[in-house]
Each structure stands twice: as C-alpha cells, then as structure tokens.
Structure 1
Amino acid sequence: MSVHGTPGALRFEVLGPLRVWRDGVQLDAGPVQQRVVLAVLLLHANRPVPRDRLIDAVWGTSAPGRAVNLVQRHAAGLRRVLEPGRRARDPSRLLAWTEAGYVLSVPAGALDLDTATAQMRRGRAARDAEDWSTAAEALQSALRLWRGRLCEGLTGPLLGAERERLEEHRLGVLEERIEADLALGRHASVVAELAKLTHEYPLRERLWAHLMVALYRSERQAEALAAYHKARTLLAEELGIDPGVELRRLERAVLTADPTLAAPAPQRSRPVRVPCLLPGDIPCFTGRTRQLAQLDQLTAPDPASTASVICLVSGTPGVGKTALTVHWAHRVREAFPDGQLYVNLRGYDPEQPMTAEEALAHLLSALGLRGQDIPLDAADRSARYRSELAGRRLLVILDNAATPEQVRPLLPGTPTCPAVVTSRDALPGLVALHGAHRLDLDLLPAEDAGALLHQLIGPRVEAEPQAAAVLADRCKRLPLALRLTAELAAARPHDSLTELAAELADRERQLDFLHADEDPSTDVRAVFSWSYQRLSAPAARTFRLLALHPGPDWDPHATAALTHSTPVQARSLLDRLARAHLIQPTGPHRYATHDLLRAYAAELAATIDSAADRHAALTSLFDHYLATAATATSTLHRHRVDQRSRPVHAPSTPSALPLDDPDAARAWLDAERANLTAVCAHSVRRGWDAYAVELATTLFRYLDTGGHYADGLTIHGHAHHAACHSGDRNGEAYALTYLGYVYWRQGHYDRAVEQHRRAVDLFQGTGDREGQASALTYLGLVYWRQGHYERAVDQHRQAVDIFRRTGNRYGEAYAHMFIGLVIWRQGHFRRALDQHRRALDLFDDLGDRDGQAYALTHLGLVHCQQDRYGVAFDQHHQALVLFRRTGNRDGQAYALTHLGLVHCRQGRYQQAIDQHRQALELSRQTSYRACEVEALNGLGEALRASDQVEEACARHVDALARAVAIGERYEQARAHEGIAAAHRTAGDLEQARRHCEEARALYEALGVPAAGGVHA
C-alpha cells in the first residue's frame, strides 16, 4: 500500500486510531484538529472536500472566526508531514487545492478502508455465486483490517456519524462471514464466537439465528431452543416486540428437526495442484552452513504470528544467491507439502525484465488456474494469488529481483507461505515496509572456496594447496568463477595448478583496463575470458550472439537461426558451450545462461560483431520464430478458414521445424510461448514493429484455443503498440480486434465492445472491408452473449453485406450462421433454419468441414426445439464426426452437450449424463467457458431427470456462478430454472419460487421465451 512518486511509500489507516506510515515508520500527523482534517480528507480520498465541510467537521456549530485560516494552516502542516522534501513554493502532488475544495490523492491500496471495501465486495460476489470458501476468506480479510472504531480518539460531528455507519457496516460483514462459515460446515468452530457476539449485540436477530443454526448442527438442540427463548425475552423487554419471521421459522425447524437445517455437504472445490517449479539443484554444493541454518528458520514460523515471512538474500553478482536458495529449497521440500513456486524475474536483464503482472500470470497458472480464470488487472491478479495461497504450506522463491515494486505484488499474505527473494541490491523498502529478514551473502570463505575446488577438481588441490588458494583468490571466491576455473583445470589435466594460476594472473593484467570499480563480479572477466578464449571461433561467435536472444532460454533451432548455421551444427556448438559451463541445460535440448555471463557475452558482441551482423542475427531469429509459429498454428488449426492467421511476412528458414503433427506443433508453441512473448516486446522496442504485428496475428488462434489469455493480452498489446508506433492503422485495427476477442473470452464484455467498436472505425478509415466485417462479426458475438439480440443481428447483417460484396464466402457463411443463432434464441425457428441452411450450403461448396459441422449443430438445435429429435440427433452426430476429423475440440464439446440434450428429451438419461460430462471435460481442457456453462446446465437437467436431485442442483449452482462470472445472462436464467426445479422436487417451495422469479425476470429482460421443454 504505497503512494508512488512521493518521498517514501505512504500508507494510511483509519479503521482504528488514525495512523500514517512511510516505509514502515509511523509519522506524527500533528495536533488533534489537523488529524481531524486528515481523517475527513481520507474518508473522501481523491474527491474534493469543500472548505466549509472541513470547518463543520472540525468545529461543528462552534467554528471560530478565523476557521478558514486554521484549515489552511492544517493543510500546510499535512503537506509538511506527507511531503517533507517539498519546497514551499512547489505545488503539492498529494494535497491540492481546487475550486471545489481540497483533494487528497490516495492511490488504490494505500488506505486500509479501501482495501477492506474491496475485500468485502469480493466476498459478497463470491457469496452470491455460492463460492463460500472464497467468500469466507475475503470477508475475514476485510475484518482483519479493523483495529477498532473509525479514527478512534478523534471527535467531530462528521466523524461521529461516519463512525456509526462503518460500525454497522462491520457488523454486517461479520454476520456474512459467519454465514459463509456455516455454509462450509464450520458450525462447531463459530459457536463460542456467536455466544460472545449475541452478548455484545443482544438485539441483532441475525446473530441469534446464526447461533441457533450452529448449536443445532452441533447436536445441541435444547441449547438452540434456549437461545431462541433468550432472544425473544430480550426483544420483548428492550423493544416490546416479538422475534422476526426468520427466528420464528428457525424455532419451528429446530422443534421438528427440519432436514433443511442439516449441515451442508462439503463444498466441492477445484482440485488443488501441487506445483514444483524449482530448477535443478547444483552439483557439489559446498559451504554456506550458517546461511543454510538461517534459511532453515523459515520452515518453522511463529505459530502466534500472522505476519508474512520474507527473507531477502542479497549479494554481488555470481556470489551464489540462486544456487544457495535453490539448494536449500530442495533440501527442505518435505516441509512444504503444498508445493514450491519459483520465478526468475530477470530484474537485471537490460532487454526483458519480467513485470510483476507477467510473473503473477505465471504463478497463478502453476497453481492450477486456467487462462480464462486469471484476472486481467495486476491488482486483481495479486489478490487472487494471495487467495490461492491462503491455507497452504508452500514455498515461494522470487529470483533476481531488481526493485521492491517488482516484488510486492508477489509476496504471499500468509505466514505459512514464506517467500525468499534474491537480489543484487539491498532493497531497503522491502525490509522497512514488509519486515523482510536480510541475509547478506558475501564471497565464499577461503576454506569453502578451496573445498569447492577440491570437489570439482579432486586430489590436485591436495597436491598443490597453495596454488589452489591462489586460484580461488583469482576467482574472487565467487562460486560461478570457481566452477568455470575448475572446468578449465579438468580440461588440462597435465598442467599444474601453479601454471594455471600464473596464466590467469597474466590474463588479469591484460584486462586491468576493464576494472572500473571494486565489484568482484567485474574482476572475474579474466576468468570468463579465459574460458571464452578456449572456444573455437564458431562456438565463441555462438556464445556472443546468444546474448542477443531476448527470451529466457533457447533450443538448437533458434540458435541455428541466430548464428546462420544448421540445427545439427547448432546442437554441437551448444553442447560445447555447456561443457565449458558457459551455458546450462534447462530441459531436453534447451539452454540458458547466468545473467553475469550473458552480460559479458553481450559486451563481447557489441565489441566484436558489427551492428549489421547483430541486426542480421536478430532478423534471422525473428524470421525463424515467425515462420515456425506460422507452420505450427497452420498444423493446429488447419480446419480454420480465417486467412488473417497467416502472416504476410513468413519466410522459409533452414532452422524452421516441419511440425506436421498437431501434438508436436502444440508442444513447440507451449515451450516457446515465453520466447515468442519476449520477441514481440523486443521487436517493438528495437524497430521491428512488423514482426510484433504479424507474430500476434499468427498466434491469435493458438492463444485463444489454448486459453493463454494473459499471454494474449501481452502479445496483442505489444502488437497494438507496434502498429501505433509505425503508423500501421490496419495492424492497429487487427490488434484491437484480437484484444476485444480476448476480453470477450474472459467475460469482460464491456471492454470487448469498446475494442471492437474502435476496430470497426479504424477499418472504415483504412478501407479494409473484410477486416471491418470480421470486427462486426466479433462485436455481434459479444452482443449475443450479453443478450442484446437486436444489436447482434444488426452487426451480423452488416457483416453479411460486406462479405458478400467482397466475395468472402467464408465470412458470409459464418455471419449467416450467427444470425441464425440469435433468431433461434428469440424463438423464430423457421427463419433460423433458413439461415443455417444457407450457411451449410456455402460451407458445402467451400469444402469447409469445420463450418459444415457448426451449421449441422445449429440445425440440430432448432430441430430439437421443434421436437424433431431423430433429425436433431442425426445432425449433432454428423457434426461430432466432422469435428473429430478436423481435431476441433471446442466443436466436439459443443456437439456433445447438444447431443446430451437430445438424449435427455428422449428419456436416455444415462447417455445424456455421459455426453454432458464428456463435453464438460473437453470444454475445460480448451477453456471454452460458454460451452462449459452449457454443459453444466445440461448435466444438471439430465441428473434431475434421473432422480439425482442433489447433484443436479449442485451442477446448476456451479453453472450459475460461472455464467455470472462471464456475463452470460441466458445461461444464468437456465441455471435458475434448474435450481428451482431441484428445490421443487425436494419440497422447498420457497426456494423454488425465488429461483423461478429470478429466471423469469432474466428471460423477460432478454426478450426471449423460457428455455422450457428443451432444457427442462
């Protein structure tokens, strides 16, 4: 919670005594009246507060005649506190005067009240979706921020009224958190808390109701009835009223042992993935006994503490920070049964340091979240990340961090998940603000350095101990340099260590001019150069050029492109570099290098290789990635007819892989996704704008069907920036179209509409009619999912007209099909059949089997609605066969769930259940969120029809939560309809009535007939 751009990081607390902090140090906010002014400004953060309102807040009706001057004086005092380095004549960046009043600028997360409100909203949204686990966690997180009453100790009419309002607000959140606990079956654990709360707040009937439920579920029926009688007596004595309807209903339910009071079944949750992202342990790890013991303390945190546990391992480059941390993490893996997370932030990479936003996407994916479940915004990602870690015993390693800002969003919020951060810098903000324990890693002690050489070289160290000690000193006792030197010694077994030490001393003298400071990491250039000089010319050139690669690692094919060699030659060169320990294997045929060696190689490349050679090497590398990505995506999506997925500039390169097999194509894209993202970013910064645009276009379908939405936003965002920078308005329009599509997939429909509208306008300006029609088609799809059916039809009809004029029969066929979908939903079955038949005829003529399959599926939907089940079954089955031939798993899921509907209508309930479960599994694999919701609702309907009412209701509840999350209103209505039917079957007519009303209201708002028979 910091204010960036101010002298230090500020945070404010008002939920309790008013407190102001800068970098972990509490500030004196001044005299009482000045503190009241600050409190009022914080309660209206980022909004103007008129001077008169401040005067009323401080003095009420007893304001002195010089109140205006006093307010001005207090404002000036606050500026001195908050901005101590600001000169009096400079404008304030925090507390400004405007015509409307004083405005205190407080960014998101810097005020505890804002954080509590955000957590409360998250908890209530989860409660509405019946995600009780998330609701309980979020609401409890909000409650933890209350340290007492609002601005305790300060007085004033405005603060008094706001204090009462927020206290009522807090109690409401507390009641909702207990409700979530009860829904999770935690009745025994809340009885004592509720007994205390009903004593403190005896007139709050909701607390008494919760206490009755908790006691009854704890098999304390008599005490539950006694609680009711106590509440009734208190209400009569204090207010002269009887208990409300809910308490009276609960008394009857307890007396009759109503089954609705039974404890809920354990909530089914998403399977928890146990990640293990640790790099391989380093061989022959030596020394660091004291530091390992310090790290061992992280495995036994104070059980009474709720503070996060953070250790900062800092030290000079090459000193072994990563090696120590990873070695220790492997040693204590058993202490963290829920997994170990690792991410290299590449903080000192001049080309591509990893942002916190990118790191969060990586970590959330490792924790098991699918692409569409990873939030778009960095703050939301951080909150979801901490929620995923809550309740787990897991280790987090954040390697090579450059700044506290890069690390803060990645810090766990629980003491059971310690974080180890490695950095070249001391990162004082991390220590002061977050209480990180600092572990400063110095050079290896002479004894440990000698022991490491002994392990790596062997008896030669015993034979020449003095020469070994000199070698260690020449290596500045840096583990990285010691390992390189040991490799050289092993490669020259007939040379004495004395001779090697003398040779290294000569090399140091030759490079003295490079030693600009006392940093030992710069002094080991002699060791690096010693290893480098032993390389053949091709290997040396490869080492230099690999430093130009913008990504985190590389394979022989990328190396071949970079060095203008063949993959066979590149593999041999990489093996040579790996034997010299100048690069390290990271997986089968994949390599990376230490950042210090990378910097050394880049320095050599800048000195030895001409700018033209370096430019040619990168151009060849980017050609390789673009050409291979085009091949891979064409193999994966050969059933697609979207010509825009084929880049204009996709040269044939010798290094490109054939990738004729879909599994191999997908494996290559998955392995190279981080590199492809890095290439997009690098090409934008270095003037290769066309590569960013074309690579994003090429990867669009892969990123979509793979559910890689976080990467999609990054890549298409780079493409948009590149197109804007180069003045490529058509490229800008396509980038906006793809960004809009990603937003649509993630359920951010308003953002999607904005992007598609901007794309349509740009395409109109550039005259790209087909691009315009495509954007209109996607815009129509968003409107269709939002339930804006007339708008959707209008967009699709415009697209049909354009596609027809340009002769694009593919686009015309799809637009007809989408029109048919909309008017089918509206109940116009004959017109829908006409649209789908026209689409099918076009697809038949074009030989587009994928399009044929979709058209057949939609024809089957209409025929099912018309009770023509035999025809519908045949069409869905034909579609499924075609989708399997083309390898379209999205289409298979779509056809399977609609086959399940037909089976259900014909009374074949088990077949229906099987089809819907297959569809559900496939849609989850491909991140097809809309189909996942449809499959859940279909599964619920089939289960209910086969008298599995409880499980049916659970499936509809799951569908409702997911439909709400993506904004799919029709499926929300359908889920409510299913839940109502399940409650009706179970005899709970009140719940059935409530859900029926919800469904009816949604159908009426959409202007469509109820799902009725087909989905009943």
Structure 2
Amino acid sequence: MPTVAVLTALPLEYTAVRAHLTHIEKRVHPDYGTRAEVGRLPGTPWQVALLELGEGTRGAAALTERAMTWLTPQAVLFVGVAGGLKDDIHIGDVVIATKVYAIHGGKETPDGFLDRTESWQPPHELDQAARHALRGQPHIHFKPIAAGDVLLSDADSPLAHRLRQRFNDAVAIEMEGSGVAQAAHLAGGAGALIIRGVSDKADADKSRADARGSQPEAAARAAEVAMAVLRELEPKEEEERTPEPPPHHGPVPTASTTLPPRPLGFTGRLADLGHLLTHLEPTADAPTAPPLLISAVTGMGGIGKTALAIEAAHQALSKGWFPGGTLFVDLRGYDDNPVTADQAVLALLDALGLHGPDLPITTARQYDAYQAQLARHRPRTLGGDPTAVLDSGSRGTDQYGRSLVLRPVLETSYRRLPPEQARVLRLLALAPGADVSTEAAAALTDLDEDAAVGLLEDLAAAGLVTARELRWRLHDLVRAFGAGLVAGDAELHEEGERARERLLEFYWRWANAADDRLLWVPGAPEPERFTDRRTALAWLDRERAGLVAAMQWAGEERHAQQLVGLAARLGVYLRWQRHFDDAIAVALAARDAAHKGGDRGAEAGAWGFLGSALEDAGRVEEAVRALTRSRDLYQAARNPHGEATAWGFLGIALHVAGQMEQSIDAHTRARDLYRGVGDRRGEADTWSNLGNALWKEDRTEEAIDAHRYALDLYQAVGDRHCEGMAWNNLGLALHEADRVVEAIEAFGRDLEICREFEDWYGAGQTLNNLARVYRDTHPTQARTHYLQAADAFTRANAPTEAADARARADSLPDA
C-alpha cells in the first residue's frame, strides 16, 4: 500500500492522529530501534506511518530523515499544536503553513543581530490537496509560521518584538516545523506539509489556556484537518521499492570421493603431464603427499586442460601418493553461473559426510569444518584448497559459447550422428544441471528409460556423453555447442522448449509427491510413489542440482508460474537438509518471476521463503527485512492466512535477532490471524513459537500455558510429530519452573514419539534434556541418559553432538 508519514512532537498529538486509524501494527527499525505504528485510513488507499519525534528542532530533523529512508513515504505531514501570533488567529483555528521560517539563524554584529533566515515551502501537490479539501471551511488559515527551539509565552518579550518586526507575516509559532521541513527536503522528498492547531496565543495566558484543555482540542482539530487532506491526496504511481537481494547464482554442485573416468586416448601432453607429476610426487619430508599444493592449469578453452588434470590425478593415485583418497568437484567454469568457493566447500563437506543437521550454519565455520575433515583423512587428500579455482573461463568461444578450437571437430561429430542420437545430444544440452539422472533424461527426450539409456550409451561410446554413478553429463564445451545449435534454429528452439516443459512436468510431479510425503501425517491421503520420508529425501537429493538450476528458467514467462509453485514445494526439503544457499537462490528466482508476472500473492510467498532461508543461513537482519516485505504484500493483497504465515516467520527471525518483545508481538498477531481463518494447525505452530519467546523472556508460567495450548491443538489435528515437539518445549518450561516430575513426564512423551518416527536427532536432544533434569540430583541416571543421547546422535549421523554427550557423561561424578 502507498505510505504517508504523519509526524508529531507530543504524545497528545500522536493520540489525536491515531484515533483516525484502523488495523494498527507496530514497526521497529532493524538497526536503530526507532518505533512507528502503521495503520490504515478508512476510505483511502493510504497506509499511515505514525511517529512521535519529541520536542526540539534537532531531534525532529534526525527522526524525520530516518523515517523517510526507512518507510519511504510518498508524503510527509507534521501535525500538532502551535501558539497564535496574530489577533485574528483564534484558539481552535488551524494553520496550514505556506512557509516555515527557521527563526534562529543569523549573525551578531556591532549594529545588532542580523537575520539570515531560511524558509521552506510545502510541496505543491500537498498544498493543492489541502486547499481543495478545506475550501470554504471557517477557521482554516493558509499562512506562514515561525519555528525555533524556544517556547514563547510572553507577548512583550524581545523575541516577540523580533517576530513582529522581522517575520511579520508569520501567524503562529512552534518548535519543530523547520527541522521537519528541512529534513524532508534533504532526504530527497519535495518537503513536508505542516498542520498546526492553535492552542494558545503565545502570551502570558498560555498556561491558563493549557489548563483549560486547549491543547488536546487543538491537536484533535489539526488531526481532523490532516485526515481530510489525505482523503483528497491521490497516491503516485511508482515502482515498488524492495530490499536489495543477494546475488543470483547457480546450484551447489555435487562433489565426489572418486575421480571421473580416465580420459580415453590421452596423448601429446607428456611434457605437461610430467611437470604436474613432479609437483605431486612425495618428498622425504612428506613421504605420502606434499603438505600443501595449489596448482592451476590455464589456457584457451577446448585444448584439454581438464583431461590433463584428471590424467595426472589418476597417475598420482595409481602410484600410491595419496592414500587418504581423492575429492573431485566440477567448478562449472563455462556456465553463466560458475561455482563459488563457498559453494565448493559445501559440496566437499557433503562428500566427506558432513551434511544435514551436522553442517555448520556460517560460512566461516564451514571452512573450519572442511579443514577439520581433511585433518581426519590425512595424509592430505588430492583436491586441495577449494579456493584455488582452476581457470576454465570462456576464452576462445563464439557468441553461443562454442569453442572456436573444437567447433570443426564437434560439428563433424554431430553431423555423423544418427538423427535420434543427434536429437538426444541437443536436448541433453538444455538440461538445467551439470548432469541428469536417467529418468530426468527420459522426461527431457520423451523416451522410455530403456530407449533413453540405449541412445545415451551410444553417445558415451562416441565420447560425447559421460556416464558416472547412474547419471549422464556433457562436457561443458559439448553442452555449449548443443545449446548453440538450438538457439540458432527456430524449429530446434521450439523442440527445446517442449523438452523443457516435459522436464518441468517431471520435476513438478515428483517434487509435489516428495513434499507431500515429507509433510504427511496419519489419516492424510497417501502420496504418490514415495512410501516413506527416506525415499522422498533420496529422490530430492538425487535431483536437487537440477531442480535448483531449473529455477533460473523462472524468468521466462512461459515457465514462470510452474516454477514459482515448484519453489514452494522445495522449501521444506531444502531447510531440512540445510541447503540454505540453494534455498536462497530458489527464493530469489521465484520472487523475481512472481513480481514480473504481477502475482503479488506468489511474490509475498517468495519473500517469505527468502526470509526463512536467510534466517536459517544466519543472515538475520536481511531475513527481517525480507519477511517484513512478505507481510506487507500479504496485507496489501488482503490475504489474512498468508499474513499470518509471514508474521510467524518474522517472529522467529526477531527471536533469533534478540528482539523478544517484537517477537512476542509478531507471534501473537500470527496466532490471532490463524484463529480468525480457522487454521488450527497454524495456530498450534504460533502458540509453540510464542511459548519459546515467552520462556526466553523468563515469563515461564505464560510459556507453560502457551505450550499446553499448542499441545492440545496438535493432538486435535492429529499431528503426532509436532505433538512430540510440543511435549519437549513444555518439558523445558516446566523444568525452568522447578516442576521436575511434570518435566520428566513431558520429555518421556516426546522421546516415545521421536522413536516412533525414527527421529534420532530429536531423540538425542530430548535425552540430553532428561539428563540435565537428573544431573544435580541423580548423576547415575543423568549419565545413562547422556550415553543414550550419544547413541541416538550417532544413529542420526551427528558425531559432534554424540561426542559432546559422551563428554558430559564422563564429566559426571561417580555415584
């Protein structure tokens, strides 16, 4: 919704404006803590942001500038009370400033004080809206006012004489208007409209007028006038302002602990090969492998750099030089979105077995974990530091990315292919990831799997396709060549678009089914294909790179709607498996596609997905901004269910940011909205999150009540897994309240459910909590629970947590 900022100096002025607004909610500046309330003015398109500045010019100027950069309003109104300076200006009248004088600028000279007056006029459109809205109304004056850091209550003072002499057209005086007008002008806006209700005559009777209640009456009159102006004012058509997004990038690659197949017919590079092997050969100081080696093979595209590196690696391994094993990751140097160093680390950690809940959240900790994993696999593995990126750029390629060196060879090979093989090669070049599974290749080519495999094997025999671990890939240059063929021919282009649509249908169907299985609860319809969570996760793991890369097609209108839906289906999986980098990339693509297509509901959902992914990745301030944007879009679309979802995620992000009061408020709003639309499952989630925030604020009894509400709702809707989570949260709050017996019972109920779902990580957490309950009074039982927690964490492939639980068990005193 278009926003207008209404600023006041005094609480009574703030209250007078607030009385006109509905649907009011609090906003907090993420960096400075500045508070605002945002509401709607009924009968208008305006969203009104209301701020109290306090008294004084400097503070008013600073907060006005902050409000404009934070809230980006289309208009600024400063509303409140003033003292009248003219006999024909009566208490209760309203002055709309046609000019604001800053009365304290000047120079002291032997001849006296020389004024150096600054003044500001209101924006033309605000002035015109006010004149039209208030035409013919008595006691409304369009006149100049004076502003300065002084409270005038003596009509015979030197300042009063100076005002009559130097600013004789000013009809009222107040303290903050010049600061507001100047800041609004300097912040890039056209200025502000100053609206002041006259509460006194700026003379010795000021205190008596205030005592009679003139200030609230004048403030109420000024607020009424301000609302009349807004009802007349039309919003400007403008581009929506959105937070700056993180940069786009391709999917995180898949690394391997095995090398690609040895290049066939490797010849003619023996000198280069010998040079590389000399550097890889162990020495007396490092008898199994050099302690540190970073090598780069550079040169024009297509001359065989990758083949040279892989042959050298195979020979080094065959000589027994690297007994610790190998790591291989394709950095996609010829892609539009090559692999970043941070993405390479994630891939290498995954290949080394560190993924899911065990994966550190921050990038710095991921690098540390990678070094620690290498230390466990010493002598050090071939593959080196992931920041030592091989130079495989696109030098020596044409406009389609085809190698100028290899183009004649590729064109000759392509012309010799039978038509069906040529068609498969072209379509495989359009696959979104670096490689594809057999079933994805079958969908892309519109063949059954047996026929697709036969043709792919023929292409592999011709050296154009590589088969590795049940997946099929083209060399970067071959893929670029095939894509160039499609791009350069209208008929082939249409053939390629139909192939992409088939692949998207394949991804959409099975991602839907896999997501349904991940979210399945007893009693719900059985999802297609996947019999349990494990098989659904396995399929998503296999197809992840292609699914994420396909999201880059979302910018094309014909694919946008389907891919926006696909992004929503990937959210739970990417979060569970901690693929936060990919989640951010997916959310950005979905957001841009929805915005381009004018689908504000989908755009709101994508902003929410993005905010959740940013929060998971530890980028909390960015998450708060993205989730606030999601909430605003849902509000503008009048979608209470979506707004509830956004408030809930925003509450979680605020909790992580340590803004507990705001988190509690956000969860309360989410709860009320879910209750209003009858979503008991959503209401249960918000009760649970609200309970966690209350517990963090030491409001333990309230937290216990909240978790009991969540527990009852989860049981009512039959969500057994979340019921276990609610039991665990309730146990924590009960333990905090020293209700030990009840806490032990709650943890026991959660443990039973975790074992039922084979949620071994959750079981380990609950056993840890039980151990903490017993630690001070029954150390033997505490040790037993810690050891059981270690076993559960081991089953969940969480070695760090398992080691920590064993260490806690060992630290307990003997019975």
Smaller-chain TM-score range? 0.5 to 0.7
Match of 1:702 in 2: 573
Unaligned runs of 5+ in 1: 1-273, 399-408, 413-418, 428-513, 647-651, 949-1016
Q: Deviations over 1:40-64 (max 9, x none)?
A: xxxxxxxxxxxxxxxxxxxxxxxxx
3-state DSSP of counterpart to 1:524: helix
* Offset, 1:641: 12
Q: Deviations over 1:180-203 (max 9, x none)?
A: xxxxxxxxxxxxxxxxxxxxxxxx
User: Bigger shift: 564-573 or 754-763?
Assistant: 564-573
Match of 1:663 in 2: 534
Match of 2:334 in 1: 348
* Offset, 1:550: 1.8
Confirm or deny that 1:327 pairs with 2:279: no
Measure the CA separation in 2 of the matches of 1:876 and 1:717: 39
Match of 2:456 in 1: 574
**Equivalent runs, 1:850-889 vs 2, <5 Å:** 850-889=721-760
Match of 2:407 in 1: 522
**Equivalent runs, 1:741-820 vs 2, <5 Å:** 741-820=612-691
Measure the CA separation in 2 of the matches of 1:299 and 1:660: 48
Q: Deviations over 1:73-99 (max 9, x none)?
A: xxxxxxxxxxxxxxxxxxxxxxxxxxx
Specify whether residues 315 and 819 from structure 1 end up closer, same or farther in structure 2 by C-alpha distance, changes over 3 A only.
Answer: closer
Q: Percent identity?
A: 30
Is the contact between residue 374 and residue 381 of structure 2 (CA under 8 Å) also seen in structure 1? no
Confirm or deny that 1:612 pairs with 2:494: yes
**Equivalent runs, 1:159-178 vs 2, <5 Å:** none
2:813 aligns with one of 943, 946, 953: 946
Confirm or deny that 1:312 pairs with 2:297: yes
Measure the CA separation in 2 of the matches of 1:685 and 1:387: 43
**Equivalent runs, 1:314-393 vs 2, <5 Å:** 314-317=299-302, 319-333=303-317, 334-337=320-323, 339-349=325-335, 352-366=337-351, 370=355
Match of 1:592 in 2: 473
Matched AA of 1:632? A
Is the contact between residue 721 and residue 753 of structure 2 (CA under 8 Å) also seen in structure 1? yes
Q: Deviations over 1:765-808 (max 9, x none)?
A: 22222222122222222333444433222111111110011111
* Offset, 1:580: 3.8
Structure with the higher fraction of residues in helix conformation: 1
Measure the CA separation in 2 of the matches of 1:667 and 1:835: 36
3-state DSSP of counterpart to 1:591: strand
Measure the CA separation in 1 of the matches of 2:395 and 2:577: 38
**Equivalent runs, 1:635-674 vs 2, <5 Å:** 635-639=517-521, 658-674=529-545
Matched AA of 1:912? H
* Offset, 1:676: 1.3
Confirm or deny that 1:823 pairs with 2:694: yes
Is the contact between residue 706 and residue 926 of structure 1 (CA under 8 Å) also seen in structure 2? no
* Offset, 1:572: 3.4
Measure the CA separation in 2 of the matches of 1:870 and 1:518: 72
Q: Deviations over 1:98-129 (max 9, x none)?
A: xxxxxxxxxxxxxxxxxxxxxxxxxxxxxxxx
Match of 1:901 in 2: 772
Is the contact between residue 816 and residue 835 of structure 1 (CA under 8 Å) also seen in structure 2? yes
RMSD: 4.2
Specify whether residues 888 and 822 from structure 1 end up closer, same or farther in structure 2 by C-alpha distance, changes over 3 A only.
Answer: same
**Equivalent runs, 1:39-50 vs 2, <5 Å:** none
User: Bigger shift: 688-697 or 302-311?
Assistant: 302-311
Match of 1:634 in 2: 516
Match of 1:295 in 2: 276
Matched AA of 2:464? L
Q: Deviations over 1:125-150 (max 9, x none)?
A: xxxxxxxxxxxxxxxxxxxxxxxxxx
Matched AA of 2:452? A
* Offset, 1:686: 7.0
Q: Deviations over 1:700-756 (max 9, x none)?
A: 111111121222222223223333333333333222322322333333333332322
Q: TM-score, structure 1 length as denominator? A: 0.48
Measure the CA separation in 1 of the matches of 2:337 and 2:466: 20
Measure the CA separation in 2 of the matches of 1:382 and 1:527: 45
Specify whether residues 374 and 896 from structure 1 end up closer, same or farther in structure 2 by C-alpha distance, changes over 3 A only.
Answer: closer
* Offset, 1:421: 4.5
Measure the CA separation in 2 of the matches of 1:873 and 1:889: 19
Is the contact between residue 640 and residue 850 of structure 1 (CA under 8 Å) also seen in structure 2? no
Measure the CA separation in 2 of the matches of 1:567 and 1:531: 24
* Offset, 1:552: 0.8
Measure the CA separation in 2 of the matches of 1:926 and 1:802: 41
3-state DSSP of counterpart to 2:467: strand
Measure the CA separation in 2 of the matches of 1:627 and 1:603: 29
Is the contact between residue 783 and residue 812 of structure 2 (CA under 8 Å) also seen in structure 1? no
3-state DSSP of counterpart to 1:332: helix
Match of 1:563 in 2: 445
Measure the CA separation in 2 of the matches of 1:639 and 1:631: 14
Measure the CA separation in 2 of the matches of 1:852 and 1:641: 15
Name the structure, 1 or 2, with higher relative contact order (CA <8 Å, separation 6+): 2
Measure the CA separation in 1 of the matches of 2:606 and 2:570: 12
Matched AA of 1:698? R
* Offset, 1:811: 0.8
* Offset, 1:817: 2.2
3-state DSSP of counterpart to 2:707: helix
Is the contact between residue 663 and residue 693 of structure 2 (CA under 8 Å) also seen in structure 1? yes
Measure the CA separation in 2 of the matches of 1:872 and 1:866: 9
Is the contact between residue 719 and residue 735 of structure 1 (CA under 8 Å) also seen in structure 2? yes
Is the contact between residue 720 and residue 731 of structure 1 (CA under 8 Å) also seen in structure 2? yes
Measure the CA separation in 2 of the matches of 1:411 and 1:395: 15
Is the contact between residue 414 and residue 422 of structure 2 (CA under 8 Å) also seen in structure 1? no
Measure the CA separation in 1 of the matches of 2:383 and 2:805: 43
1:913 aligns with one of 757, 769, 786: 786
Matched AA of 2:748? H
Measure the CA separation in 1 of the matches of 2:718 and 2:479: 51
Matched AA of 1:909? A
Is the contact between residue 740 and residue 755 of structure 1 (CA under 8 Å) also seen in structure 2? yes
Measure the CA separation in 1 of the matches of 2:361 and 2:723: 35
Measure the CA separation in 1 of the matches of 2:663 and 2:612: 15
Match of 1:549 in 2: 431
Measure the CA separation in 2 of the matches of 1:570 and 1:525: 22
User: Bigger shift: 746-755 or 295-304?
Assistant: 295-304
Confirm or deny that 1:693 pairs with 2:564: yes
**Equivalent runs, 1:157-196 vs 2, <5 Å:** none
Is the contact between residue 844 and residue 852 of structure 1 (CA under 8 Å) also seen in structure 2? yes
Is the contact between residue 813 and residue 842 of structure 1 (CA under 8 Å) also seen in structure 2? yes
3-state DSSP of counterpart to 1:554: strand
* Offset, 1:424: 6.4
Specify whether residues 309 and 620 from structure 1 end up closer, same or farther in structure 2 by C-alpha distance, changes over 3 A only.
Answer: closer
* Offset, 1:328: 1.0
Is the contact between residue 705 and residue 926 of structure 1 (CA under 8 Å) also seen in structure 2? no
* Offset, 1:671: 1.7
Measure the CA separation in 1 of the matches of 2:613 and 2:469: 31
Specify whether residues 556 and 778 from structure 1 end up closer, same or farther in structure 2 by C-alpha distance, changes over 3 A only.
Answer: same
Specify whether residues 870 and 331 from structure 1 end up closer, same or farther in structure 2 by C-alpha distance, changes over 3 A only.
Answer: same
Match of 1:841 in 2: 712
Is the contact between residue 724 and residue 753 of structure 2 (CA under 8 Å) also seen in structure 1? yes
Measure the CA separation in 1 of the matches of 2:798 and 2:374: 23
Structure with the higher fraction of residues in strand conformation: 2
Is the contact between residue 655 and residue 693 of structure 2 (CA under 8 Å) also seen in structure 1? yes
3-state DSSP of counterpart to 1:312: coil
Number of residue pairs aligned between Structure 1 and Structure 2? 548
Is the contact between residue 382 and residue 410 of structure 1 (CA under 8 Å) also seen in structure 2? no
3-state DSSP of counterpart to 1:310: coil
Unaligned runs of 5+ in 2: 1-254
Matched AA of 1:598? R
